[in-house]
Structure 1
């Protein structure tokens, strides 16, 4: 699965915890054992049928190309390569032939070609699953590849059906490659015009799916996990339309998230302009960048200094199903207690933009302070007089922001105090904010 993360320090801070997700050490062995048992049972059940077909002649038997012997990569990759084609369309010669023809014609259209992982086939493609779905026939194809450094890998390609009834490539990934653990790649994909059908290949073990994220004050979680039911090599599940959202997530029985093969394709998620606060190129920067609002009441403080401290610990509870986007603006500095903080906009998939704030003590050895504090704000309304207003926990006050606006606040004694421009960290006693000439209640 590819990622669009760049080197911007704020983006690194927003996605730092997603990098720590790792499958359990024995996942490969458990997957292989469970999958092999089912393959043996299926092969025994099919033996009689194959004998009858062969006795009547081979003209009516689809000869699926099988990869030659090569370096063993183990786990999910070997299971999907070795097993006979599964699914209720496994014997549909016309569909399988069309799938393979489309695969050969479009395989190199995948962005993965640029990584040098699809240019040198090491064997013939194999349809590992072909079945019916509510969105029409779908299939998964696997093929051994050699990398540019003469090392083995396995490419997986997913297909659905377009509105005209033609085979439609919907995604691709690398199942195994040097430096990556077996099972790293996708074995689930979305198909259908609005991507409302989820297909998960059966390689052994339990799998669950979730339709939505839940935003709490301090983290993003999922509370609607439900199991999938495998039948003849795959689970087929109706899900809410994902064409412009990508809110669906899949995880295995150990709780590790599984990637969706569609994420390797160009996304069709509409561009979210956020608050439109980005600053134009200039000052040594070749392109526009997030607007920066330094808030350091105890002296000058650079964003790099804040991120250096935040990067030493757990920078919040991000969902590990993919990186967050945003980067329209950044506020940073110190709270009234002297704690370092950084705030920015954040967006998961097609969800509305929110504000996230990370707070960390100046010294991690100070017993008065705990680990990083993460705060998620409400959905941002760019048309509101005060788009950003986030209450910080434990009496730390309010973070408010509106680009180019003059800010002031009213305390509980009825007195107005100036708070500067663009963004401000207000005391917990603030009750109202004046944004230029407009008053907003907190």
Structure 2
């Protein structure tokens, strides 16, 4: 090593370094070091920049993986039908449609998730992301043929306000008799109509609907009322009574086409208005014996009916705003009102109480009352008849003279044979023979 050092010294003995050489060498070293640092910084920036862009791209990717899946269904290879479905979706999802649903904008292209055959004809499930107040949500629509004019249309769609965990379900076809559930998380079950036992209790029987290619489709071929159909998703055979909040909601396509986002759920009663509105001064009528404490006219009738299994399971229920209540001469209480359940006609119910005010039982009355009486209910054990007709004056008799009731409702004796009903609009009274 010492020999090498001596040789190098001897070889440069006559070489003279220029002025400032050492300083330039140091500056060059500093520049090279700075360049290396800059390169490192740029590399880090590039890495983070790519990561940032990548994060942005990830954010722009749909959160719903279904939007990136290949179209399912037995008609997935029909390019013409796929194009028709996306065209129908774009046509329907205009500015007014978005405004009704609170959607600021749509993102990406509409995606046909499923295209398949049904008994109502070819149908497609179309999805696209929409920006609502709480972020991006997957909007789902059903595209199929409108039997009214044979045109391909959006016959139903979800809204950002719908529960995000509930499976999307649709109702369409002639008579709105075809039901379709998208991606049920368990087995979809259907019930065509309620069963009513001899004591008035309501229950349902459920049948499974197979899921094929991510979609469960069922058509009501029983000839029954489509409004009576109910759907539920369950991991096992559903019970005879399923809570209303577990049922899948569908909107009949006919109603959707007419009212859009305001379409009524399947089974909802038309209008939803019961007789004797709240503005009437006769909404709470006490009749019968003046002694004793009658039941409260504001008892939770809906809860009582549900506990007694007297109601159907459905998306809507309406109670009349009028109630006739009181005590029979033996001190026992009663309350009579009407209830309308899920599209069926109004039914009169009688709640019977014991002398201590406890509920004894609930009676479902016959669907028809002695016309023109709104209510003609015969209490058990000879306790009399509860008769009522809003806006009228009532008289009754057994075999003798007519007796005035003084109001449009009364508890009349059990042996009453006739009730006279006078309505101002009729001009003359009508006589009702009470059945014996």
TM-score when normalising by structure 2:
0.62
Which residue does the alignment assign to 1:183? 165
Judge conservation of contact 1:136–1:161 (CA < 8 Å) in 2. yes
SS of equivalent residue, structure 2 residue 297: helix
Which residue does the alignment assign to 2:119? 134
Task: State which of 252, 263, 275 in structure 2 corresponds to 1:262.
Answer: 252
SS of equivalent residue, structure 1 residue 435: strand
What pairs with 1:59-78 in structure 2 (closer than 5 Å)? 68-69=60-61, 78=64
Which residue does the alignment assign to 2:364? 376
Unaligned runs of 5+ in 2: 1-58, 422-430
Which residue does the alignment assign to 2:300? 310
1:319 to 2:312 alignment = yes
Instruction: Give the CA deviation at 1:296.
Output: 4.8
Instruction: Give the CA deviation at 1:136.
Output: 1.3
Which residue does the alignment assign to 1:200? 181
TM-score when normalising by structure 1:
0.62
User: How much is the aligned-residue C-alpha RMSD, in angstroms?
Assistant: 4.6
Judge conservation of contact 2:232–2:247 (CA < 8 Å) in 1. yes
Which residue does the alignment assign to 2:100? 114
Distance 1:235 1:433, change over 3 A: farther
Which residue does the alignment assign to 2:86? 100
Unaligned runs of 5+ in 1: 1-66, 73-77, 280-284
Task: State which of 121, 127, 139 in structure 2 corresponds to 1:155.
Answer: 139
Instruction: Give the CA deviation at 1:252.
Output: 1.8
CA distance in 1 between counterparts of 2:302 and 2:189 reads: 33
What pairs with 1:284-303 in structure 2 (closer than 5 Å)? 292-297=283-288
Which residue does the alignment assign to 2:16? none
Distance 1:342 1:147, change over 3 A: farther
Judge conservation of contact 1:112–1:173 (CA < 8 Å) in 2. no
CA distance in 1 between counterparts of 2:368 and 2:334 reads: 23
1:219-244 alpha-carbon deviations (Å, 9 max, x no partner): 66343422212222323322159998
Task: State which of 403, 416, 419 in structure 2 corresponds to 1:434.
Answer: 419
SS of equivalent residue, structure 1 residue 385: coil
CA distance in 1 between counterparts of 2:374 and 2:177 reads: 33
SS of equivalent residue, structure 2 residue 171: strand
Distance 1:97 1:312, change over 3 A: closer
1:326-361 alpha-carbon deviations (Å, 9 max, x no partner): 74x612433434647361352532x33322455678
1:334 to 2:321 alignment = no
Once structures 1 and 2 are overlaid, which stretch shifts more, 260-269 or 99-108?
A: 260-269
SS of equivalent residue, structure 1 residue 174: coil
Instruction: Give the CA deviation at 1:249.
Output: 0.9
Judge conservation of contact 1:352–1:380 (CA < 8 Å) in 2. no
Distance 1:174 1:206, change over 3 A: same
Task: Select the structure of larger CA radius of gyration.
Answer: 2
Distance 1:107 1:409, change over 3 A: farther
Once structures 1 and 2 are overlaid, which stretch shifts more, 402-411 or 136-145?
A: 402-411
Once structures 1 and 2 are overlaid, which stretch shifts more, 331-340 or 82-91?
A: 331-340
CA distance in 2 between counterparts of 1:91 and 1:290 reads: 65
Instruction: Give the CA deviation at 1:422.
Output: 2.5
1:166 to 2:151 alignment = yes
Which residue does the alignment assign to 2:190? 209
Which residue does the alignment assign to 1:389? 376
Task: State which of 220, 233, 239 in structure 2 corresponds to 1:252.
Answer: 233
CA distance in 1 between counterparts of 2:219 and 2:338 reads: 35
CA distance in 2 between counterparts of 1:313 and 1:326 reads: 11
Question: Which of 1 and 2 has higher RCO (CA within 8 Å, sep 6+)?
Answer: 1
Judge conservation of contact 2:420–2:432 (CA < 8 Å) in 1. yes
Which residue does the alignment assign to 1:125? 110
Which residue does the alignment assign to 2:216? 235
Which residue does the alignment assign to 2:22? none
Q: Which has the higher helix share?
A: 2
1:89-135 alpha-carbon deviations (Å, 9 max, x no partner): 2222211221112112213588784352x333344432222211122
1:32-90 alpha-carbon deviations (Å, 9 max, x no partner): xxxxxxxxxxxxxxxxxxxxxxxxxxxxxxxxxxx9535x5xxxxx4654643222122
Distance 1:422 1:158, change over 3 A: farther
